[in-house]
Structure 1
């Protein structure tokens, strides 16, 4: 979990508790536990499963089996402390105050065999009479996680801070007079461009949010924007993405809306910037820029936010449009939401993050693990800075790394053998403002990495780095 997401969750949780008049004597909440499935398990190693955010009087039983078995094994759930990461990082997570009370069950190594582990929990609270089965389908539709016989080992070692990579080129730039920028006395405060995209024809688009417009550079011409697209003045746009049919999708708040409801929406704009459709925004906290999936559908990556505090929360991939561009209804989004990032070739990326160890796997349409990586680092991996992607079969991971007061982005390209093909270090937040919690990064199919940069002195630019 990145520092920005953690701070946002903890602040939101505190505000909600204070605003509701919460106290230790308040009645226990409904049995809606927080459970983070350990999606990728090394074969033959025990694992502890946890159910948190429950009343102290709650009790429960875990039912578990692997795909080599027909019958479930019953395991008692007992009270303990849950830290949302690898066991090796538990002490650091306790210091960061991201651990909490939970019901725990230790699954013995003998059960972690085969290719999948299936389980569900039956929870009850004698004090209130409430109960829950998680997942709700129980034995018929249990939670499923993958058991991996072999991970490709990737050792990042210790990150060297202060040695950021030099870009191959600046593909777009404008001086401070050509873009809206503001600052304050407490960096990285202020405001300015918060999102950008690179079109299929190579043109570069930058959100000039304070001036309610998009700046567009022609491919190969970085000196200044060729044209602008005026955005509706009532929309406070924070993020956007370019659709395949020329549609511009923006995430924005309607400042002219005087109603009491949520004023944030997803808008579909014509190439000239006129609104032609809108839908409610996604719930939770955005963890990467809006982006197109392999079939042309628009996706948002969302953390669950306050309901998961202080643990960080599940990240879900939410489809927002059909491949042809039609905005999806809330019900259609819900049916298509998945914890796995869709990738080309019908693959899905399964991600499991911790401070010093992260696991990733490509899963095919038959639900089989095609390839899996175990990434270890001597420097803390504080989260994903943007959405991972595939480049010619290689996995590209945009990581956030930190040590004490030092923070940077580390983008690595991993070969199918586990070798590191490319490694790019980037400044943590080389732009004004904190409109979004994610980093404005884009990875193109040709192996180029793009980063948005802004400052009061230099204006705005988009830098290109090579991952080849």
Structure 2
């Protein structure tokens, strides 16, 4: 039998008076619980809902309510208390298109949540990953010597340029992190960068994004008080056009667990209508990003309140009203490296229009920071594999009938970085950053079918 970890989470602040019939005991007034079902489930799953207490008494009774869209009434299931609370959802309930559920602890109800049922997913079988059998590219779009960029190499750190971006005009922009500047290569001129643009101190460890009119955006962590700011930069001089605060409490507040968790180094992404989003953590590490709007298509900042109110979760907004749900992790036993991840495209009506189950004989390791992007309307996703100190990627273009393209790549970035080393360009091709304190940096281009 299979078991499914409830990796999709929500924060539940259960307070006195939130619902009729709430207990007046002090323990009920201070409960904070996270948990629920995954967002993407399959009919053959052994589906387990899990809840964890983060504040308040752990001795209160709990009940789980669930129904599918073919039922009118909720089924009532008692939650078993062990290391947290859990319950196995009967297979007979995993039918239709959608599961709706909520939990109740001492009579205080959680807001209703939903999970999509994958009726006919496309199965992509990767088999056993063959380490050392990776592909390379001689199509270099940017190159610099090691002495032309900055490095931070010591007993404590092994870091170089952190990330890059490609612009709609075909230019390549490298974040020369430790020289606090952006280096720009013109299309067709890979040998030498054409421009060097200074950026504010601290922005070198940020993702970089372009607005619809060529605006340049970076983020910076400031102190006294600790906060994250978004800077819109002049693309010619690097000067700050405006600066605005990102979200409210940095790092999840004093307790570190108040979503959305605002952290430096998270991705910046442009939405389908030109809105700029900062990706935030909505629960436990590893869950789907929340897409929080931070700037309008016209290039103006949004207030922290408007940012929080506009979060899209647990999905990525796409063109045509579609939403991409995933990465959703499946584990057979709840421990060890997972062997399955899932994605789904959902339409405006909330129905799954296409979905994928990616199966690997080799255990999947750390999940890549490259946010899924589109190439020709198909999601492009990255699967990581690790063998000791060696990390390799499988890059998949997910088509209607399977993997429309598959690339096996070696991780080429020196040291540790949480920022993307892979990008999908406006031309629908894949770009990869490689860095070395011996040979310098290159950005190469690879086809995606």
Q: Normalising TM by the smaller chain, what interval?
A: 0.7 to 0.9
Normalized against structure 1, the TM-score is what?
Answer: 0.79
Residue of structure 2 in register with 1:40 after alignment: 40
- CA shift digits 1:166-195 (9 cap, x unpaired): 114110011122111231246xx3332112
Change (3 A) 1:366 1:181: same
Alignment partners' CA distance in 2, 1:162 and 1:406: 9
Distance 1:190 1:132, change over 3 A: farther
Which has the larger displacement, 327-336 or 147-156?
327-336
Please report how far the alpha carbon of residue 243 of structure 1 lies from its aligned counterpart in structure 2 after TM superposition: 1.4
Deviation, structure 1 residue 77: 0.5
Corresponding residue to 1:57 among 49, 56, 59: 59
- Partner in structure 1 of residue 430 of structure 2: 449
Shift of 1:349: 0.8
Alignment partner of 1:279 is 2:279:
no
Q: By how many angstroms is 1:432 displaced?
A: 3.4
Structure 1 residue runs without a partner (length 5+): 1-26, 81-100, 125-130, 136-141
* Residue 324 of structure 1 pairs with residue 294 of structure 2: no
Deviation of the 1:364 alpha carbon: 0.9
Partner of 2:323: 348
Q: 1:194 aligns with which of 146, 149, 162?
A: 162
Superposition RMSD in Å: 2.4
Please tell me whether residue 170 in structure 1 is matched to residue 145 in structure 2. no
- State the secondary structure of the residue aligned to 1:50: strand
Partner of 2:128: 158
The SS at the match of 1:35 is strand
Contact 1:300 1:317 in 2 (8 A): yes
Query: TM-score, normalization: structure 2?
Result: 0.82
Tell me the CA shift for residue 385 of structure 1: 3.7
- In 2, the alpha carbon distance for the partners of 1:228 and 1:452 equals 18
Match of 1:293 among 271, 275, 289: 271
Following superposition, the deviation at residue 332 of structure 1 comes to: 1.4
Find the aligned partners of 1:414 and 1:320 in 2 and give their Cα distance: 29
In the comparison of the two structures, how many residue pairs are matched?
A: 397
Query: Paired residue for 1:459, among 404, 425, 440?
Result: 440
Report the Cα distance in structure 1 between the residues aligned to 2:415 and 2:44, rounded to whole angstroms: 47
Moved more, 284-293 or 194-203: 284-293
Structure 1: how far apart are the matches of 2:264 and 2:409?
21
Q: Which has the higher helix share?
A: 1
Residue segments in structure 2 that go unaligned for 5+ positions in a row: 1-26, 248-260, 331-337
How far has the Cα of 1:421 moved from its partner? 2.5
Q: SS of 2:79's equivalent?
A: strand
Q: Cα–Cα, structure 1 residues 37 and 384, in superposed 2: closer, same or farther, change >3 Å? A: farther
**1:449 Cα deviation from its structure 2 partner:** 0.9
2:390 and 2:421 mapped to 1: Cα distance? Answer: 19
* Alpha carbons 2:221, 2:264 under 8 Å: kept: no
